[in-house]
Amino acid sequence: MTQTTPAYDTQTLPADVAAGAAQFLTPMVLDLEALVVNGKQLHWHVRGGSFAGVHTLLDDVVAHAQDFADTAAERVIALGLPVDSRLQAVAAKATLPELPAGFLGWEATVEHAVAQLDAALATVRAAITGLDEVDLSSQDIAIAIEQGLTKDRWLLQAHVAS
């Protein structure tokens, strides 16, 4: 029988720290995975005069969200804990607002995309606050993700700003 060991050195990072970090990183993973799916939904269904710009930006948002989810999930895994980001877990636990089905004008698409990013940012910012007392390395990951999501939000919001 093969014995497995945690992916981290238990003498440098206690199990309660790993569990605490996972408590904040896992909701980020779920919301970021939901952002990937919802971002693609918006990407496929945008219509109107600013179609090309919004369509392209949404591809970037989706790619970034997937990278961010991967980074956060890999941190949890590196700490020796599993992450459940199966479709049913994302659907049940993600906090992003529901999207309408079908085609949307580009302005409505941007509004929905910004709302999706705002919900994901709320989860990330809660993690940043919570991780301050738990694990600063995990907090650094959350801070970097917050910076990226904020930039994506800005680029989208600029399309409808006056």
Angle between helices 51-78 and 15-45 (to 10 degrees): 160
Domains along the chain with CATH numbers: 15-157 (1.20.1260.10)
Collapsing DSSP states into helix, strand and coil, what is residue 43? helix
9-41 as b/e: b if 16+ CB within 10 A: eeeebeeebbebbbebbbbbbbbbbbbbbbbbb
- Mean pLDDT of the region 41-45: 98
| Separation of CA 104 from chain center | 23
pLDDT digits (tens, 9 = 90+) for 90-149: 999 999 999 999 999 999 999 999 999 999 999 999 999 999 999 999 999 999 999 999
79-88 pLDDT, tens digit each: 999 999 999 9
pLDDT for 1: 52
pTM here? Answer: 0.91
Among the residue ranges 8-12, 16-20, 52-56, 85-89, the one predicted with the least confidence is 8-12
Residue 77: is its pLDDT beyond 60?
A: yes
Q: How many residues are recorded in the chain?
A: 162
